[in-house]
Structure 1
Amino acid sequence: MSLNRYRLKHLVKKKHRGAKKASKLLERPDRLIGVILIGNNFVNILASAIATVIAVRLWGDAGIAIATAALTVVILIFAEVSPKTMAALHPEKIAFPASYLLSPLLKLIYPLVWIINGITNTFLKLFGINVTGDNNHHLSTEELRTLVHEAGALLPQNNQNMLLGVLELSEVTVNDIMIPRNEVIGIDLDDDIDTIISQLSRTEHTRLPVYQGELNKVVGLLHMRNLAQVFHEGQVSKAAILQVIREPYFIPESTPLQTQLLHFQSHNRRIGLVVDEYGDIQGIVTLEDILEEIVGELSSNNKEEDQEIFLQEDGSYFVDGSAYIRDVNKSLEWDLPTDGPKTMNGLITETLESIPDANVCLQLENYRIETLQISDNVIKTARIIALPKTEADD
């Protein structure tokens, strides 16, 4: 009963004979317990009867008390506590050899086991307990996450992080990781061709949205590889760009990352435009963004330029207002609320229920937040310090 069920299944798949027999016995734990306890109680009662007879012959009526006390100590030490403690600590060493004895013993006394189990199972049904129900052990997402955390040295830290990233995909939506609309870089067909050519020659991205005047009027997605031939022929024009673009791919903002990863795969896409319930474009998300949720940052280029969190000498942090709360929590192992706004700017303004005219200080749970820079109705920078739990409670 102390066997690790998942290791047992693994050993069964490897054709381990003892594991196969133990697994077969555990399919009906009521029968396994029945055959063990029949033998256990039979031996204990028989030993008690024999010890009482011997003690009475040696010491008379006082022998009953002597036999009871002596046999209790002997059974507790040698038949209960010691063997069961050893079996609990090393279940495989005990269970696998024992299964070779218990399996034939169960067949031998099966009629007796069947009668006793029939009576006990009927009694248990009075309390709504179904002993023949599904005995499979299934783990929830939270239990799997705990299992990964407790793997310790058995799993390298990088592997643990990747497994945890996979488990979180169904809990995170595309609007949690998307590049927000105000940071989207694209080609505006209303610009003159020289401006467009200059932008294309300097861009670091391989895929760009192409739009007419504003992002909501997107006409397609441009892959720089498709434009290489146009550049080679020296015939770059707006018409040539329109010929090599691909139709836009739209993604509802509430789509879980796990679902979107499958959609990217089935539609042979690597980038999509995130839209809200009204069809307005909120940002873009790429296949790389989703993979980074699993494996971490794929590229260290421009890491210093993209840094949004800066440690200060007093233990506080300067955090960019556009930083995603999930990224801050991951980097600093904090638990800022993520069920509302996605960015620090949104979290602060929602807590204040207004956009502050000047710098303010507030406390959110056990985090003290001070705005440092506000411009264009946006909080650009904030100082955040995590308070000890007791101080936060006070």
Structure 2
Amino acid sequence: MQAFLEPQNLILVGVILTLLIFSGFFSSSETALTAASRVRMHAAEKDGDKRASIVQRLMNMRERLLGGILLGNNLVNILASVLTTTLFTNIFGGSAAALAAATAVMTALILIFAEVLPKTYAISQPDKLALIVARPINLIVKLLSPIVSVVQIIVNGVLRVFGIDTNASAWTAADEIKGAVDLHLQEGGVAKRARDQIYGVLEIGEMSIEEVMTHRRNVAMIDADAPPDQIIKEFIASGHSRIPVYRGDSDNVIGVLHMKDLLKAVTRTNGSVETLDIKKISRDAWFVPETTSAVKQLRAFQQKREHFALVVDEYGSLMGVISLEDILEEIVGDIQDEYDEELAGVTRLKEGGATVRGDVAIRDLNRAMDWKLPDDEGPVTVAGLVIHESQTIPNAGQVFAYHGYRFEILKKQRNQIQSLKIKKTFEPDMRSEQN
């Protein structure tokens, strides 16, 4: 006890405790600055909090931030361990037992008071603590910047030897938002429809109208040379308010007939349809290239005050039609009226899964069934997905398993898959012959 109370040993105790406080500061700062919410920091920065600006800057240079904190933390921990060993040597001599005791005591102190305690506190309120430590950590990172830069060069060099690119980031801000929304959906904090709408807003900027349009195979069209009464019957049977008009060949679209214009023309002739000139009452067709982005087309609809356009490929051939409703449905989900089905071409099965028409869009099927079939790039329709994965045009009765789902071809006409039966499965990806 007398040896412990000697001035030099008391000074060592004070220095060790100070170093433990610094170690706790570094540990809590690391947790706070990595766990702080970017969204809340951005909001605080907009409100004029300069500390939030520093936090944002530190979070944007994460490698340098972690390098500076870890360097400072290791320096104080190592120094504290050395001084503790010196303290125990002064008190108990340089025996192995004294060194073991110093190691045990220092390990317990660092673990409890310099790691677990400060990090537990930091994780409970990371935003508040991040703002508090922003300025001192920013200063420390600047002071240690030369050493950290050398360390980073060495670390990046070693990682490159193993083929690891530290600059590659697989996650974007959109991915983080999707992950948060999915988590809240599982916890019951977000409805599925709201989740789908948020997804739609995030994904619409990456989509082209080719992914959204109604394919020409499903587009109702009117022959301008057909008898007027037949045209009216076909128009009413289509269930649409706008319909393309062609002459001779379906690629030769000469206009778009609007139901309001047709009704006005019939009213002017007192119900007589024999004298109707369909070409005269049709509006000019608006052609857009298939590569146009969905967002750009949405803005074009708003500026031109039009709701309907025809999509053509690079050769001028008709690919399909795009409407304002088609694009809005990608954001808000299906906009149904009394003539719409819940999801045309999809029938739920009691035993699970669904029978699906081949031309149903993968995105629409995922929303309707809450499935996760790949729809980011590549095929747009369910039939296209099966053909893409199997690298063949399958026959009726064939069964495939891809991405955790089982696809059974129910009907095929020529080279087109008409319908499939799809359900979730735990089978590995495979292709089978006829059932």
What TM-score comes out, normalization by structure 1 length? 0.74
Deviation at 1:190, TM superposition (A): 0.6
1:389 aligns to what SS in structure 2? coil
- Provide the aligned C-alpha RMSD in A: 4.5
Name structure 1 gaps, 5 residues minimum.
none
Counterpart of 1:253 (choices 290, 295, 306) is 290
Q: Contact 2:360–2:382 at 8 Å: present in 1 too?
A: yes
- Aligned match of 1:206 in 241, 258, 278? 241
SS in 2 for 1:163: helix
Give unmatched runs, 5+ long, in structure 2: 1-32, 158-166
Match of residue 222 from structure 2? 187
- 2:105 aligned with 1:70, yes or no? yes
Matches within 5 A, 1:261-340: 261-304=298-341, 307-315=344-352, 317-332=354-369, 333=371, 335=373, 339-340=378-379
**1:8 is matched with which residue?**
41
Partner residue, 1:117? 145
| C-alpha displacement of 1:249 | 1.4
Within 2, Cα distance between the matches of 1:13 and 1:89? Answer: 24
Q: 1:4 to 1:189 in 2, by over 3 A?
A: same
Distance in 2 between the 1:122 and 1:350 partners? 47
Equivalents in 2 of 1:168, 1:80: separation in Å?
Answer: 41
Tell me the CA shift for residue 211 of structure 1.
1.9
2:217 paired with 1:178: no
| Residue in structure 2 matched with residue 225 of structure 1 by the alignment | 260
Rounded to whole Å, the distance in 2 between the matches of 1:334 and 1:123 is 42
Give the structure 2 partner of residue 362 of structure 1. Answer: 399
- Measured in 1, the distance between the counterparts of 2:77 and 2:374 equals 61
* Equivalent residues, number: 378
Aligned-pair identity (%)? 27
Distance in 2 separating the partners of 1:139 and 1:245: 46
Note closer, same or farther for the CA distance 1:331–1:157 as it changes in structure 2 (3 Å cut). Answer: closer
**1:36, 1:391 → 2: CA distance?**
45
CA contact (8 A) 2:229 2:274 kept: no
Q: Deviations over 1:246-305 (max 9, x none)?
A: 321123334442343233334433211122333221321211111111111111423448
Between the aligned partners of 2:191 and 2:77, the Cα distance in structure 1 is: 49
Q: How far is the alpha carbon of 1:362 from its aligned partner?
A: 3.3
Distance 2:399 2:89 in 1: 82
1:86 maps to 121
Q: Given the superposition, is the C-alpha separation of residues 292 and 25 from structure 1 closer, same or farther in structure 2, using an over 3 Å criterion?
A: closer
Q: CA, structure 1 residues 313+139, in 2 after alignment: closer, same or farther (shift >3 Å)?
A: closer
SS in 1 for 2:381: coil
What letter corresponds to residue 146 of structure 2 in structure 1? G
Alignment partner, residue 410 of structure 2: 371
Paired letter, 2:47:
K
Report the AA paired with residue 12 of structure 1.
E
Q: TM-score, normalised by structure 2?
A: 0.68
2:179 aligned with 1:146: yes
* Distance (Å, rounded) in 1 between the aligned partners of 2:430 and 2:120: 45
2:143 & 2:359 partners in 1: Cα distance?
70
What letter corresponds to residue 146 of structure 1 in structure 2? Answer: G
Displacement after TM superposition at 1:77 (Å) = 1.6
State the alpha-carbon separation in 2 of the partners of residues 341 and 72 from structure 1: 58
Question: Is 1:342 matched with 2:377?
Answer: no
Q: State the 1:82 CA deviation.
A: 1.8
- Compare 251-260 and 113-122 and name the one that shifted more: 113-122
- 2: CA distance, partners of 1:98 / 1:354: 62
State the one-letter code of the partner of 2:121.
M
CA distance in 1, matches of 2:153, 2:110: 33
Amino acid at match of 2:43: H
Which residue identity does 1:169 align to in structure 2?
I
Change (3 A) 1:376 1:306: farther
Query: 1:94: how far off?
Result: 2.8
1:155-170 to structure 2, matched below 5 A, reads 155-170=190-205
Secondary structure at the aligned position of 2:410 is classed as strand
- Structure 1: how far apart are the matches of 2:342 and 2:119? 61
Secondary structure at the aligned position of 1:150 is classed as: helix
In 2: Cα distance, 1:50 partner to 1:96 partner = 33
Change beyond 3 A, Cα 1:20–1:256: closer
Label 1:278 to 1:342 Cα distance change in 2 as closer, same or farther (>3 A). farther
Task: Check whether the contact 2:251–2:317 (CA below 8 A) recurs between aligned residues.
Answer: yes
Q: Deviations over 1:226-261 (max 9, x none)?
A: 445433322767775434433211233344423432
